[in-house]
């Protein structure tokens, strides 16, 4: 779709007119309608009212100096989404595309691909960003969805606090404290795509100060639709279980212990993998990637005074991905973080922290894919300091800070940012920011040899990682405006201009001869270098509106332009990020409707523009959910996803690499939940 400047101008004019109307409308009265309604409810009805205790949290988010968006537990439940990756569709400006049923390309603010390298993802403070190929294996990112408190999504750089790879965005998946998940539930369901799934959770108080929960879940999902005559092989299943324990040691100090284990199989059709150096030398085959992982995290929080607190966190994470016969790796991560906040003067709040991470990797090589060395320790040490300066109390603040870190790939890195926040009252927030963020090299970019294809001769085209590969860096300019004319209506607009340098490019080198493995062959090398740069700009817009107690609407829209160039002198045949990989426009509208007799009816429409580069057409996705909770203990729902068509494509060939695309199919499933 083309959206020219004139159209855009119209939209803006309308938007401004709208702002004026809103600005002149009277503020809602002091008379508390809600409370007078509540008092007429019965005891049982009051007990069933869903409450939010996030007044403070909401305030914090409303007055944040970054483009933050929060997906609540209720949003996830009522969306009908069954994976975290899909739930991110709800965030305006997030790009979510299936490659096959268990592989996604997910990012914010552009440069999307299977290994979208600039989005940092964390679950309860534990990073699930993989340094091997720089990206997130979304089939491994999962928790019991019902125990998620919220998903905080920050579009834009967060390197100052979170460190490397928080370039285009940061996602924090935050689960509930175990004291808020008392009691048990069992849910189970099935459908045409969701072949069968079930979740179990039980939580209890050990004593007044200690609580715990345990959970387990399993799912089995069907293959997606056929594409270009390839029989799909992307069915997948996984088991996951875990626990969390929270202990309030005293009024001012608390301890958390949590851990998870998972094990699954993600099927795929591996495409054109080099299996021999004799022409043609490549083969396509089906394989089940075995995923396996375990993690343990502990966190100590201490409140020192009303204006000062600290946090110490340690985690261990083992990730194993067995993609035999091409590659298999095991990654053991040990991470220790410390953070401290205090008031330096009445007008200066300092937050600073220290962190260190050690990652041991080990690989098994194949003819197609090789790492050298096969195993090694990687490290990252860092510190950050941030000063929040009050220029005018409750009105104008300046936030300055930087991360300084050291890693075994590129040495010293710094990621400063400056943010200005203007909060004239509780209804308006205006912010602006300039920040630098880096994406550090992956193990692959440093040391991989990927034999891509075999030409007659025989000649092997190979991608080769180099130690010279530098961090990719970003200088981002952002601005945003949040407006809450009433507590029923909320607007959020953010604008950004991103300037990238040192982006990944694959540069041809001089051919050379190899005799082993046989047969003797020429190698056409392509070295991983930093000879690409570019800019992206755009906006994200979000409206939430609750016209009635029983009806909530939200809508999002985003526009994104990407322009990338090879540096002078570059002869690159390809780059990791490319123009036309991202939809220029996206929009969504969602409605959550409470009906009489405890029924719920929820609808969502998502529009995703075409991907120019691969001629992937634009699509509209429609989801419906009908829920019913006859009693407090029972929940029944039916969900239809992708109602609009029986099959559609979401990603392009190039973005997948060595993997066959499949088409997203219409999905229908039913689910029943019993609480006890």
Partner 1 sequence: MKKIFIFLIILISFSLQTFPNESFGGIREDKVQAAFIYKFIQFIEWPTEIEKESNKFKIGIYGKSNMEELLQTFSGEKVNGRFLEIHPVKNLNDLKKCHIIFISPSEASKLNEILEALNGSSILTISRMKDFALKGGMINFYVNEERVRFEINPEPARNAGLKISSKLLKVSKVIRTP
Asked if 249 interacts with partner 1 (CB under 8 A), we say no
- Is 62 or 219 the residue whose CB approaches partner 1 more closely? 62
Half-sphere exposure of 121 (CA within 13 A, CB side): 23
Does 606 contact partner 1 by CB under 8 A? no
Site for partner 1 contains 204 (CB under 8 A): no
Query: Is the CB of residue 295 less than 8 Å from the CB of residue 317?
Result: yes
Task: State residue 35 phi and psi, 5-degree precision.
Answer: -65, -40
Residues 346-365 that bind partner 1 (CB under 8 A): none
Does position 463 interact with partner 1 (CB under 8 A)? The reply is no
Dist CA 236 CA 221 (whole Å): 5
Q: How far apart are CA 220 and CA 288, in angstroms?
A: 14
CB of 38 to partner 1, least distance (A): 4
Question: In the complex, what is the shortest distance from the CB of residue 485 to partner 1, in angstroms, rounded to a whole number?
Answer: 8
Q: For partner 1, give the closer residue by CB, 404 or 585.
A: 585
Residue 489 in contact with partner 1, rule: CB under 8 A? yes
CB of 538 to partner 1, least distance (A): 15
Sole binder of partner 1 in the list 490, 606, 614, 619 (CB under 8 A): 490
Q: Which is nearer to partner 1, 50 or 597 (CB)?
A: 50
What is the 3-class SS of 592-623, one letter each residue? EEEECCCEEEEEEEEEECCEHHHCECCEEEEE
Determine the interface stretch with partner 1 among 29-37, 96-104, 342-350, 666-674 (rule: CB under 8 A).
Answer: 29-37
User: Which CB atom, from 74 or from 372, has the smaller least distance to partner 1?
Assistant: 74
Query: Which of 61, 63, 69, 72 lies at the binding interface for partner 1 (CB under 8 A)?
Result: 72
Contacts of 104 (CB under 8 A, 6+ apart): 85, 96, 97, 98, 114, 138
CB of residue 305 to partner 1, shortest distance in Å: 15
How many positions of this chain bind partner 1 (CB under 8 A)?
63
Q: How far apart are CA 540 and CA 556, in angstroms?
A: 7
Question: By rule CB under 8 A, what string of x and - marks binding of each residue 226-245 to partner 1?
Answer: --------------------
- Cβ closest to partner 1, residue 43 vs residue 228: 43
Q: How many CB atoms lie within 10 A of CB 437?
A: 31
For partner 1, the closer of residues 32 and 512 by Cβ is: 32
Phi, psi torsion values for 394, nearest 5 degrees: 55, 20
Give 125 or 485: the residue with its C-beta nearer to partner 1: 485
**Residue choice 18, 239, 550, 674 for contact with partner 1 (CB under 8 A):** 18
Using H for helix, E for strand and C for coil, what is the string for 341-407?
EEEEECCEEEEEEEEEEEEEEEEECCCCEEECCCEEEEEEEEEEEEEEEEEECCCEEEEEEEEEEEE
The verdict on 133 binding partner 1 (CB under 8 A) reads no
670 lies in the site for partner 1, by CB under 8 A? no
CA–CA dist 496, 434 (Å, integer) = 10
Any contact of residue 20 with partner 1 (CB under 8 A)? Answer: no
Burial class (CB in 10 A: 0-12, 13-18, 19+), 459: middle
Build a one-symbol-per-residue string for 555-574: x at contacts with partner 1 by CB under 8 A, - elsewhere: x-x-----------------
Tokens of 236: 């997948």
* Mask for 46-65, x = binds partner 1 (CB under 8 A): xxxxxxxxxx--x-------
Residue closest to 146 by CA, chosen among 82, 194, 211, 189: 82
Q: Which residue has the tokens 């080769």?
A: 464
What is the residue whose two structure tokens read 């066959």? 660
In the complex, minimum distance from the CB of residue 542 to partner 1, in angstroms, rounded to a whole number: 12
Distance in angstroms (rounded) separating the CA atoms of residues 66 and 18:
24
Among 379, 545, 601, 628, the residue binding partner 1 under the rule CB under 8 A is 545
- Is 32 a residue that touches partner 1 (CB under 8 A)? yes
* Residue selected from 543, 624, 626, 668 as contacting partner 1 according to rule CB under 8 A: 543
Is 633 a residue that touches partner 1 (CB under 8 A)?
no
Only segment of 11-19, 188-196, 218-226, 492-500 that touches partner 1 (CB under 8 A)? 11-19
Indicate the residue among 35 and 513 with the shorter CB distance to partner 1.
35
The region that residue 511 occupies, defined by phi over 0 for left and psi between -120 and 50 for alpha, beta otherwise, is beta
Member of 80, 170, 175, 181 binding partner 1 (CB under 8 A): 181
Q: Does residue 427 bind partner 1 (CB under 8 A)?
A: no
When binding is defined by CB under 8 A, the residue of 318, 546, 657, 666 that contacts partner 1 is 546
Does position 19 interact with partner 1 (CB under 8 A)? The reply is no
Residue 28 in contact with partner 1, rule: CB under 8 A: yes
445: enclosing H helix or E strand = helix 443-447
Maximum Cα–Cα distance across the chain: 86
CA–CA separation, 84 and 148 (whole Å) = 10
Cis? peptide before 561, omega within 30° of 0: no
Q: Which stretch binds partner 1 (CB under 8 A): 41-49, 125-133, 329-337, 433-441?
A: 41-49
Q: In a 10 Å sphere around its CB, with 0-12 CB exposed, 13-18 middle and 19+ buried, how is residue 85 labelled?
A: buried
What long-range pairs does 26-29 form, CB within 8 A, spacing at least 24? 27/427, 27/486, 28/486, 28/487, 28/488
Give the DSSP letter of residue 147. G
Stretch that binds partner 1, among 83-91, 189-197, 370-378, 486-494 (CB under 8 A): 486-494
Q: Does 673 bind partner 1 (CB under 8 A)?
A: no
User: If 0-12 CB within 10 Å is exposed, 13-18 middle and 19+ buried, where does residue 467 land?
Assistant: exposed
Binding residues (CB under 8 A) for partner 1: these are: 1, 3, 7, 10-11, 14-15, 18, 21-22, 25, 28, 31-36, 38-39, 41, 43-44, 46-55, 58, 72-75, 180-183, 208, 251, 485-490, 543-547, 549, 552, 555, 557, 585, 587, 589, 607
């Amino acid at each position: 779709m083309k959206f020219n400047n004139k159209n855009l101008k119209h939209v803006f004019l309308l938007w401004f007119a709208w702002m004026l109307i809103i600005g002149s409308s009277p503020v809602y009265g002091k008379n508390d309608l809600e409370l007078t309604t509540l008092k007429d409810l019965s005891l049982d009805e009051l007990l069933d009212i869903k409450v939010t205790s996030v007044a403070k949290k909401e305030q914090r988010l409303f007055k944040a100096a970054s483009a933050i968006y929060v997906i609540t537990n209720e949003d996830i439940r009522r969306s009908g989404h069954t994976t975290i990756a899909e739930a991110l569709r709800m965030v305006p400006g997030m790009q979510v595309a299936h490659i096959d049923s268990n592989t996604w390309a997910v990012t914010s603010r552009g440069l999307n691909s299977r290994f979208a390298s600039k989005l940092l993802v964390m679950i309860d403070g534990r990073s699930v960003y993989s340094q091997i190929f720089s990206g997130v294996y979304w089939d491994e990112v999962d928790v019991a969805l019902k125990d998620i408190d919220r998903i905080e999504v920050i579009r834009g750089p967060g390197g100052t606090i979170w460190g490397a790879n928080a370039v285009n965005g940061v996602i924090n998946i935050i689960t509930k404290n175990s004291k808020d998940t008392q009691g048990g539930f069992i849910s189970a369901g099935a459908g045409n795509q969701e072949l069968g799934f079930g979740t179990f959770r039980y939580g209890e108080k050990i004593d007044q100060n200690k609580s715990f929960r345990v959970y387990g879940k399993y799912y089995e999902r069907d293959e997606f639709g056929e594409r270009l005559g390839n029989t799909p092989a992307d069915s997948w299943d996984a088991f996951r279980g875990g626990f969390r324990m929270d202990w309030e040691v005293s009024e001012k100090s608390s301890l958390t212990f949590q851990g998870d284990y998972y094990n699954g199989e993600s099927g795929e059709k591996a495409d054109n993998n080099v299996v021999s150096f004799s022409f043609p030398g490549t083969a396509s085959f089906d394989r089940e990637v075995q995923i396996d992982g375990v993690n343990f995290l502990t966190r100590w929080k201490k409140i020192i005074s009303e204006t000062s607190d600290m946090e110490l966190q340690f985690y261990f994470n083992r990730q194993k991905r067995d993609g035999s016969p091409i590659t298999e790796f095991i990654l053991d991560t040990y991470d220790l973080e410390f953070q401290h906040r205090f008031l330096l003067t009445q007008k200066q709040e300092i937050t600073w922290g220290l962190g260190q991470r050690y990652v041991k990797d080990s690989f098994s090589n194949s003819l197609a894919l090789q790492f050298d060395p096969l195993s090694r320790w990687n490290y990252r040490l860092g510190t950050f300091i941030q000063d929040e300066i009050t220029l005018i109390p409750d009105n104008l603040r300046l936030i300055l800070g930087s991360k300084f870190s050291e890693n075994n790939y590129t040495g010293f890195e710094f990621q400063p940012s400056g943010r200005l926040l203007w909060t004239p009252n509780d209804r308006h927030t205006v912010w602006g920011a300039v920040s630098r963020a880096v994406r550090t090299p992956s193990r692959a970019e440093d040391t991989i040899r990927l034999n891509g294809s075999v030409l007659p001769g025989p000649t092997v085209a190979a991608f080769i990682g180099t130690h010279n590969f530098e961090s990719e860096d970003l200088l981002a300019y952002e601005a945003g405006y949040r407006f809450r004319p009433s507590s029923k209506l909320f607007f959020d607009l953010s604008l950004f201009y991103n300037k990238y340098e040192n982006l990944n490019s694959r540069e041809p080198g001089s051919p050379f001869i190899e005799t082993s493995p046989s047969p003797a062959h020429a190698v056409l090398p392509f070295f991983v270098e930093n000879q690409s740069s570019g800019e992206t700009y755009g906006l994200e817009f979000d409206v939430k509106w609750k016209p009635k107690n029983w009806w909530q609407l939200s809508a999002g829209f985003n526009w994104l332009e990407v322009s990338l160039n090879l540096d002078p002198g570059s002869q690159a045949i390809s780059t990791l990020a490319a123009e036309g990989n991202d939809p220029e426009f996206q929009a969504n509208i969602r409605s959550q409707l409470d009906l009489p007799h405890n029924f719920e009816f929820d609808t969502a429409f998502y529009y995703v523009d075409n991907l120019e580069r691969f001629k992937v057409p634009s699509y509209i996705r429609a989801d419906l959910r009908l829920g019913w909770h006859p009693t407090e203990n029972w929940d029944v729902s039916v969900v239809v996803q992708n109602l609009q068509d029986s099959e559609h494509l979401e990603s392009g060939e190039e973005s997948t690499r060595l993997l066959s695309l499949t088409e997203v199919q219409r999905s229908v499933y039913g689910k029943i939940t019993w609480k006890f």
